[in-house]
Amino acid sequence: RAICTVFGDAQKSTAGHRKLVISLRKIQEQCAYEPVKLNKAKRQEDYEEEDFNSEVVRCVLRILPVRKAEPAGDRVVRFLGTFLNSAGAKDNEIATSSDPDTTSALETPTSRLVSQILNTLLQLLTVKDKVIRFRATQITSHIINSLDTLDDTLFHQLRYALLKRIHDKESMVRLQAVYGLGRLAAEVEDEDRGEYSDSEDDVGRGVLEKLLVVLQNDPAAEVRRNLLLNLPLTKEVLPYLLERARDSDGATRRALYARLLPALGDFRHLSLTHREKLLRWGLRDRDESVRKATARLFRERWIEDCAVLPAAQAAEEAEGEGAQKPANQAADPSLDALLELLERIDVVNSGTEGGIALTAMKEFWDGRPDYVEYVSFPDDFWEDLNPELAFVARTFNDYCRSNKDAAYAGHRNLDALVEEKLPEVTKFGYFLERELNKLVATMHEAATGEDEDVVEDAAQREFIVEQLLHMALTLDYSDEVGRRKMFGLMREALSLPDLPEEATRLVSEVLRLVCGEDAKGEREFCGIVLEAIAEVHDTILGEDGETEQDNSSVDESFHSATEYVDEDGATVSKPKPKKKNGEELTPEETEEKAIKEIMVNMKCLHIALCMLQNVGCDLEQNTHLVMMLNNLIVPAVRSQEAPIRERGLLCLGLCCLLGRNLAEENLTLFLHCFTKGHPALQTIALQIIADILITHPSLLAEPSIDATTATEQPEGNQLIKPVLKVFSKSLKSDDPAVQSTGATALSKTMLSRLITDPDLLKQLVVAYFDPDTGTNAQLKQSLSYFLPVYCHSRAENAHRMVQIAPSVIAKLVTIRENMLDDADVDDESGEGMVKLGTVGQMLLDWTDPRKIVGFAEAAGTNATADGAGETQFLLVERLLDRMNSYQIGKDEKKVLFSILGKVHLPAGACSAELLKECCQEVAVAYETGLATDMTSRNILKKLQSQLFEQMNTVAAAERGGGG
């Protein structure tokens, strides 16, 4: 039959579909419209519409058993859709031409055919065979999506049936159901909410609502992805769609950035929060393709939204409508568009250090050479800077300088381009000076007035200055005039009491840079900073009258700060100071004075902190630093005020990095801070301790034995024990920051081989898997990086991991049991905890000798890989020892055996001694009947034969060598 032939051809390729649609339509017309259109002579057989329809349905049934993987099936389905769509349209044409008044929803031959097909399929949506269910759902959904209208009753039946299928066991069925419902969703929503609500309560709720639940919860990513791309883009749905930017599946995230968002229309309709989050998530995605898609979205779509609209508006104003934007063609570069784009992503907030606007602009310049070419920075650019302009200049500068040598059209390279476009250092210095002055003026105004606009203005000024300072950090100071200009400027800026902290930090860095890299420059830098601190101190407290008489008042006032503490240890505002005339201060005045002192202290300490971060000299050789330590930092550490004390400790810690003696003296103090302090202080203490140990590795070294040959027992290093204790305690802290800082600190010291304690390693690994730390993402992510690096970087580390492996598993088994016993646990089967099998898998991976650095290259010869090959022999020995020596539970045994089944035991890598021990353990395991089920018996058997074979080789070699 002709119909069969058409369908048969349709499966081969989609190319011929158009022709086939026409021929099938002809057959249909012959059957359905005979009286109207047909020339009887041409008709050989007299078929009725009904025959046609049932023949098509018969063909449709033939598609049903076709497995999903066959493209032929999909092609026929597509063909069917195309045909029904076009035939429906033709029917309507005929109907309208015969009766122009018909509006819609009339019955036509095609609509009858559709009903017949769909009614047949409806029955098949619940059959047992999954392939049939899949194809039936696929065809149904495809037809729904191919048609403009649907019969009302059918519509409700379909909706009901498909809603059942969104929970189908097979993800391929759910995918199709969701695809069909996506189309229905919008219509259902505006049409009849609640009509069905009193019948089947399950179905009564809106289709859309259910689909949104699926979007969030379906276990199959492709279902979520399909839904993401097929739901109506309404205001209510949008937040659910955007949430998929964090979907656990990379392809779904990419679909959002590469397909949904570009299709969404003007990004300015998104809220600021959404814009910021989407950028941040997308540009920092773990998946490179998502990052790329986001970058393109930003520099190709979002900028176009800004570039095109004002242009279109302008055109509209000029010549009325009809000014269509050229599709897919970038608008000419426009500074205004770029400024608007930056404003729309709130660059004052998103453009700070670590902010997403920096990444976004890096991608922008990288992908828009037209803009790189286009921007220019003439003098009037700098005249009236706003945050967006400053950010354009700063990111352009960053981009060019970090791609210095990249060739650039018409220029030698980007470095040359930026030199040409930006003003020279001296001029830049003047621009910066002007901005600094504006900032200080605004800060004053903001401090005195209560005008909110001024406060905001100050924030903007601050941002601008920061951008220019960042640029200053990249300039070339070989020109002495320029250098001097900047030197003088920075020196003055540093002593501005009102300069905000971030700007102060940048100023100190620029100053360090212009002083010159060498030791002389560093000394000069320290001297200037100290002067600045004194000056800040004087300017602020000076206004108060002449309470402080001399220039060394820095230390005077700090000493008085400590005296409060000595007096009675509690109150800071204890009235003590007297004015020079002897009048008593009122309580308000006293309090005000105390607050002011705190602020001065904080500011001075901050400057000191910035300086200390930028020097590397020996503290004891630098009188400036020693003076600052004694006069500023030590008193701060003793202060009663928590913020001062914390900042003081940070400074002291930095000083300790510059001098081993100082570090040795103060390590106990930091240990004490951890023991007695609150979480914020504990975090600081942990950081300092780790940094000190890493900077002065000798602090933890065992005292050399030769010095103490007299006494048999050298006293050992007194510091090790308390240090280990502090780290151990930090891992058990309730505070997530303390816990993760402790873990990271420990990671660093372990990588530097300063701490080699196996028990701490065990605690670290347990903490990694412990469900209690489940919400501490920082801890988890830092450890998931550290643990493999640690094990794979040295065989000795991997061996340590092997040593602790049995006890780690034992511990985790206990934790798991306790958790399951706990009646309060709401999720069944300990879902909150990683599976023991996974733990085993990771331990195997960490101790895999093939992954240890140097193993593959030269087994045994490389120092770091020494003994690498033995690693999992040792693991075998340890695990069997555990099972042979203790009565352990079923779960634990299962994990241990599963590990044993996958160990890698390279021939000839193991010492005879260890090999023998392994064999002995296997023998014991056999004697005691350790393996109770088939799987474990097989594992043990395999292990035994492997070990025996190697043992024989060794024995043979020994005999050969001996005889």
Partner 1 sequence: SAAQDKEKKVRKEKEPFEIDFAAPMSQELAAQLYTNASSNATISLPRKEWRSRTRNLLPDDKHFNSKDLLKLFLKPKARLGARKAGGST
Residues between 794 and 833 with contacts to partner 1, criterion CB under 8 A: 827-828, 831
- In the range 350-389, which residues lie near partner 1 by CB under 8 A? none
Contacting residue, 20, 32, 66, 888, with partner 1 by CB under 8 A: 66
Site string for partner 1, 654-683 (x = CB under 8 A): x--x--------------------------
Q: In DSSP terms, which residues pair with 103 in a beta bridge?
A: none
Q: In DSSP terms, which residues pair with 411 in a beta bridge?
A: 408
The sign of the torsion formed by the CA atoms of 168, 174, 178, 181 equals negative
Q: Give 440 or 652: the residue with its C-beta nearer to partner 1.
A: 652
Contacting residue, 127, 263, 441, 595, with partner 1 by CB under 8 A: 127
Q: Quick one: which segment of 129-137, 411-419, 756-764, 806-814 binds partner 1 (CB under 8 A)? A: 129-137
Q: Quick one: which segment of 122-130, 265-273, 475-483, 894-902 binds partner 1 (CB under 8 A)? A: 122-130
Shortest reach from residue 520's CB to partner 1, in Å: 9
- In the range 186-215, which residues lie near partner 1 by CB under 8 A? 213
The answer to the question of residue 495 lying near partner 1 (CB under 8 A) is no
The answer to the question of residue 72 lying near partner 1 (CB under 8 A) is yes
Q: Residue 505: what are its φ and ψ, rounded to 5°?
A: -60, -45
Please report the DSSP string for 275-336 in residue order. Answer: HHHHHHHHHT-SSHHHHHHHHHIIIIIIHHHHHHHHHHHHHHHHH-S--PPPTT-PPPP-HH
Contacting residue, 24, 31, 59, 738, with partner 1 by CB under 8 A: 59
Which tokens belong to 901? 């089944």
Q: In DSSP terms, which residues pair with 408 in a beta bridge?
A: 411
Shortest reach from residue 777's CB to partner 1, in Å: 5
Rounded CA separation 125/141 (Å):
11
Rounded CA separation 205/562 (Å):
69
Contacting residue, 106, 314, 595, 789, with partner 1 by CB under 8 A: 789
Which tokens belong to 344? 């729309």
Rounded CA separation 891/815 (Å):
13
Q: How far is CA 416 from CA 127, 328, 407, 614, 703, in A?
A: 71, 32, 10, 29, 56
Q: Give 253 or 799: the residue with its C-beta nearer to partner 1.
A: 253
- Cα angle for residues 372, 377, 382 (degrees, 5° grid): 140
The sign of the torsion formed by the CA atoms of 156, 159, 162, 167 equals negative
Residue burial 495-520, b: 16+ Cβ < 10 Å; e: rest: bbbbbbeebbbbbbbbbbbbbeeeee
Q: Quick one: which segment of 70-78, 583-591, 703-711, 839-847 binds partner 1 (CB under 8 A)? A: 70-78
Q: Give the distance, in angstroms, between the CA of residue 606 and the centroid of all CA atoms in the same chain.
A: 30
Shortest reach from residue 755's CB to partner 1, in Å: 14
Contact residues for 870 (Cβ-Cβ < 8 A; gap 6+) = 795, 799, 849, 909, 910, 911, 914
Shortest reach from residue 260's CB to partner 1, in Å: 16
Residues that bind partner 1 (rule: CB under 8 A) add up to a total of: 83
Q: Which helix (H) or strand (E) holds 376?
A: none
The answer to the question of residue 688 lying near partner 1 (CB under 8 A) is yes
Contact residues for 627 (Cβ-Cβ < 8 A; gap 6+) = 530
- SS3 call for 425: helix
Q: Give 247 or 892: the residue with its C-beta nearer to partner 1.
A: 247
The answer to the question of residue 834 lying near partner 1 (CB under 8 A) is no
- In the range 246-275, which residues lie near partner 1 by CB under 8 A? 246-249
Rg, Å, the chain Cα set: 38
The answer to the question of residue 545 lying near partner 1 (CB under 8 A) is no
The answer to the question of residue 573 lying near partner 1 (CB under 8 A) is no
The answer to the question of residue 219 lying near partner 1 (CB under 8 A) is yes
Shortest reach from residue 4's CB to partner 1, in Å: 4
- In the range 738-767, which residues lie near partner 1 by CB under 8 A? 741, 744-745, 747-748, 751-752
The answer to the question of residue 239 lying near partner 1 (CB under 8 A) is no
Q: Give 438 or 748: the residue with its C-beta nearer to partner 1.
A: 748
Q: Give 170 or 817: the residue with its C-beta nearer to partner 1.
A: 170
Q: Give 213 or 481: the residue with its C-beta nearer to partner 1.
A: 213
Contacting residue, 45, 517, 583, 588, with partner 1 by CB under 8 A: 517
The answer to the question of residue 133 lying near partner 1 (CB under 8 A) is yes
Contacting residue, 24, 32, 124, 507, with partner 1 by CB under 8 A: 124
The answer to the question of residue 135 lying near partner 1 (CB under 8 A) is no
Contacting residue, 190, 332, 384, 518, with partner 1 by CB under 8 A: 518
Rounded CA separation 602/651 (Å):
12
Q: Residue 479: what are its φ and ψ, rounded to 5°?
A: -80, 120
Site string for partner 1, 280-299 (x = CB under 8 A): ----x-x-------------
- In the range 574-603, which residues lie near partner 1 by CB under 8 A? none
Shortest reach from residue 71's CB to partner 1, in Å: 9
Rounded CA separation 952/281 (Å):
58
- Cα angle for residues 426, 430, 433 (degrees, 5° grid): 130
Contacting residue, 243, 343, 544, 556, with partner 1 by CB under 8 A: 243
Contacting residue, 309, 315, 455, 694, with partner 1 by CB under 8 A: 694
CB 506 within 8 A of CB 439: no
Residue burial 599-619, b: 16+ Cβ < 10 Å; e: rest: ebbbbbbbbbbbbbebbebeb
Q: How far is CA 419 from CA 396, 416, 428, 433, 473, in A?
A: 11, 5, 12, 20, 14
The answer to the question of residue 1 lying near partner 1 (CB under 8 A) is yes
The answer to the question of residue 695 lying near partner 1 (CB under 8 A) is yes
Please report the DSSP string for 290-306 in residue order. Answer: HHHHHHHIIIIIIHHHH
Rounded CA separation 303/291 (Å):
17
- SS3 call for 665: helix
Q: Which helix (H) or strand (E) holds 696?
A: none
Contacting residue, 74, 388, 522, 535, with partner 1 by CB under 8 A: 522
- In the range 601-620, which residues lie near partner 1 by CB under 8 A? 613-614, 616-618
Q: Give 65 or 265: the residue with its C-beta nearer to partner 1.
A: 65
The answer to the question of residue 62 lying near partner 1 (CB under 8 A) is yes
Q: Give 283 or 903: the residue with its C-beta nearer to partner 1.
A: 283
The answer to the question of residue 511 lying near partner 1 (CB under 8 A) is no
Q: Quick one: which segment of 84-92, 438-446, 447-455, 776-784 binds partner 1 (CB under 8 A)? A: 776-784
Q: In DSSP terms, which residues pair with 584 in a beta bridge?
A: 578
